[in-house]
C-alpha cells in the first residue's frame, strides 16, 4: 500500500527556545554571550536540526492497515538538507513519503526509508530522510538491493574534534519538543528495556553532533550548515559528553562520528555533512 502523509504545526518563538534548550544551548549560553541568540526572544535564532521535529505526521507507524510492528521500530539514521534557514516561528507543514522498504529476512526484520519535506508558511525549507529498522516485519520476500548503508570513516586520524557536555535533565527538556517516549524519562521503563537509567533521544544526540560541527568548522554560524546525517550506533546517557570527531574531505564536505568521552563509546557513525 502506498503512503503519503501530511503534517501541520503552528510553531512559536517559545517552541524554538525550548528546542534549543533541549539540544544544549542553555549550557553554552552561560559561558558564551554569542549563544544567547538561541535562548532569548530578541532576534531569536533557530538551529537547522529543528527541521526534524516540526510538523511530524507519524500516523502510518501505528496504523494497523500498514502492518508495522510499532513496538519493534528502531530509528536507525537521520539526515536533513536545508533549502533555506529555518524560521524561528511559522506554520510548518510537511509532506511525507516512503522511499523504499528492504527485506533482511524473518529474523533480521525490514529497513524502511522515509522522506519528509518541511514547509514554512508554504515555502519549502528542508528535506529530512529517516531510516527505520522494522524488527517485526522481515521475511516478506523483498530484496536488500539499494538499502541504505553507512559510510566508513576515513582511514586516518580525525582532523579535529569538538566536545559538548549534556546535562542530567537534558532528556526531560528535549521531550517538550515532542518525543515523550517514557524510555527517556521514566527509570522503570528504561530498566525494563535493559538500561540502567533513561537514555537521551537519538535526535538530540544528532543535533548536538551538528552543533559540534558548526562550532568546530563554521565559526559558530549555523546558517552555513547545509546538510547533516548520521547513523545511530549506541546510546547516550544524560550528563555525558559527546565528542564529534570530523574529517575535512574538501569543498565543504565533512565526514564525522561521535563518541561518549566518559565511556569511549561510539554513538553516531557514518556521519556526512556539508558546510558552506
Residues labelled catalytic: 179, 184
Q: How far is CA 75 from the centre of its chain?
A: 9
DSSP state, residue 6: E
CB 36 within 8 A of CB 88: no
Q: How far apart are CA 162 and CA 260, in angstroms?
A: 12
Round to whole Å and give the CA distance between 152 and 186.
35
* Number of separate helices (H) and strands (E) present in the chain: 6, 10
For cell 521535529, what's the residue?
Answer: 53
Task: Please name the residue that has the C-alpha cell 521503563.
Answer: 189
CB 61 within 8 A of CB 107: no
Amino acid at each position: 500500500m502506498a503512503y503519503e502523509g501530511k503534517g501541520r504545526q503552528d510553531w512559536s518563538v517559545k517552541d524554538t527556545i525550548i528546542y534549543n534548550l533541549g539540544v544544549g544551548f542553555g549550557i553554552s549560553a552561560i559561558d558564551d554571550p554569542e549563544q544567547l541568540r538561541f535562548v532569548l526572544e530578541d532576534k531569536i535564532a533557530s538551529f537547522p536540526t529543528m527541521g526534524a521535529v516540526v510538523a511530524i505526521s507519524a500516523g502510518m507507524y501505528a496504523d494497523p492497515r500498514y502492518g508495522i510492528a510499532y513496538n519493534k521500530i528502531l530509528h536507525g539514521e537521520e539526515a536533513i538538507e536545508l533549502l533555506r534557514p529555518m524560521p524561528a516561528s511559522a506554520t510548518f507543514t510537511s509532506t511525507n513519503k516512503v522511499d523504499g522498504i528492504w527485506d533482511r529476512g524473518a529474523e533480521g526484520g525490514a529497513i524502511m526509508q522515509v522522506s519528509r519535506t518541511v514547509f514554512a508558511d508554504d515555502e519549502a525549507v528542508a528535506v529530512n530522510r529517516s531510516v527505520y529498522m522494522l524488527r517485526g516485519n522481515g521475511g516478506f520476500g523483498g530484496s536488500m538491493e539499494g538499502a541504505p548503508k553507512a559510510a566508513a570513516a576515513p582511514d586516518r586520524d580525525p582532523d579535529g574534534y569538538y566536545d559538548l557536555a549534556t546535562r542530567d535533565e537534558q532528556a526531560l527538556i528535549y521531550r517538550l519538543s515532542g518525543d515523550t517516549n517514557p524510555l527517556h524519562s521514566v527509570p522503570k521503563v528504561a530498566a525494563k528495556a535493559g538500561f540502567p537509567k533513561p537514555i537521551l533521544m537519538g535526535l538530540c544526540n544528532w543535533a548536538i553532533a551538528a552543533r559540534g560541527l558548526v562550532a568546530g568548522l563554521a565559526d559558530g554560524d549555523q546558517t552555513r550548515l547545509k546538510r547533516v546525517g548520521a547513523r545511530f550506533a549506541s546510546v547516550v546517557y544524560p550528563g555525558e559528553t559527546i565528542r564529534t570527531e570530523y574529517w575535512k574531505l574538501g569543498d565543504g564536505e565533512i565526514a564525522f562520528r561521535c563518541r561518549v568521552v566518559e565511556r569511549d563509546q561510539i554513538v553516531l557513525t557514518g556521519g556526512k555533512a556539508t558546510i558552506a
